[in-house]
Structure 1
Amino acid sequence: MNGTLHFMEHQELDEPSLQQLAQLLISVVEDGASIGFLPPLSAEEALEYWRGATQPGVLLWTAWKGEKLCGTVQLQLCTKANGRHRAEVAKLMVHPAERNQGIARALMSRLEARAEQEQRRLLVLDTRTGDPSNQLYLSLGYQVVGTIPGYALSASGDKDATTIYYKELHV
């Protein structure tokens, strides 16, 4: 990784962090990420998403180089009685200019360590089939469950497949 990288876990987001997270979200969506939004994504829509992101049961990390936000990820803890052993990995994002420097891997490492602290033995996630993130998750030991065709709309109007993954942690 180039530059000094530091991480923060957030219970709440201050206004400067909200602004940078909104810009990160806009950047990754414009770059083609399939994370629930379509371009063009307005600053207002991005801010609205982040203002609601920190809620009970959601753990959120950010990665920074100095004052610049480089990436983020969320762990959404299942709160149902029969699911307190599992959590979902959500919204892993790295700024397009900061990719291939180990930031996503470092964020996932922190997320998995915290999942173990929370006694979560099973992590699940989904990502667009064919995206570079598929290789990341496989390299981190996630197993493919299967693929759902036509799961998410793309900016072109196509319906993209999603691949579902899981990983069992040693808690």
Structure 2
Amino acid sequence: MTSSVIERLETPEARPLAGLAELLRDSVAGGAAMGFLAPLSHEAAGRWWRHEAPAPGPHAPLWVASREGHIEGAVQLNACRKPSGRHRGEVLKLMVHSRARGQGLASRLMTTLEAHAATLGLTLLLLDTRSGSPAETLYTRLGWERYGEVPGYSLDPDGSGPWPTAFYFRRL
């Protein structure tokens, strides 16, 4: 089996919208805390990618992992543009399709994002995830440090909760 190829997209037109919509829908259906409630329709996921997701560009590159024509994963960096924050960025929506989990793709996506962030001169990255989620294990293993938790921050995709969210940082 071939491994997924990771490609950096820097223009909105380069986004494979149908594949990204399916990836988001699959992530929410699998219980990932992505800011959506299940069931998320393919159409609603597509609308989010077209109209609400940060448009890929120099300050918000999007990495898409694909294999054999199928989107397997994605992650986006949002570099701060404020004069006092140009040293930092935020990791947005790390997702791996259910068919590709357990193969190290999330680690590869994060490593790719971190390396690019360093080339932009960023020295601090931030992210958040649901407390107690498998993602916390990944981030800790990759050297991220937990700096806090907010109780009742968001609902679970099934509408239960509200659940706490953990916040992480990583110095580059």
Output the TM-score relative to the length of structure 2: 0.93
Q: Is residue 26 of structure 2 the alignment partner of residue 31 of structure 1?
A: no
How does 1:66-85 map onto structure 2 within 5 Å?
Answer: 66-85=68-87
Q: 1:15 to 1:166 in 2, by over 3 A?
A: closer
Give the secondary-structure state (helix, strand or coil) at the position aligned to 2:103: coil
Match of 1:61 in 2: 63
For 2:33 and 2:82, the matched residues in 1 are separated by: 27
Match of 1:118 in 2: 120
Q: Which runs of 5+ in 2 are unaligned?
A: none
Aligned residues between the structures: 168
RMSD value, Cα? 1.5
Deviation at 1:45, TM superposition (A): 1.5
Whichever residue aligns with residue 104 of structure 2, its letter is G
Is this contact kept in 2: 1:75–1:87, CA < 8 A?
yes
Identity over aligned pairs, percent: 41
Deviation at 1:13, TM superposition (A): 4.6
Output the TM-score relative to the length of structure 1: 0.93
For 1:16 and 1:80, the matched residues in 2 are separated by: 26
How does 1:94-105 map onto structure 2 within 5 Å?
Answer: 94-105=96-107
- Higher RCO (C-alpha under 8 Å, 6+ residues apart): 2
For 1:16 and 1:121, the matched residues in 2 are separated by: 27
Match of 2:92 in 1: 90
Whichever residue aligns with residue 170 of structure 2, its letter is K
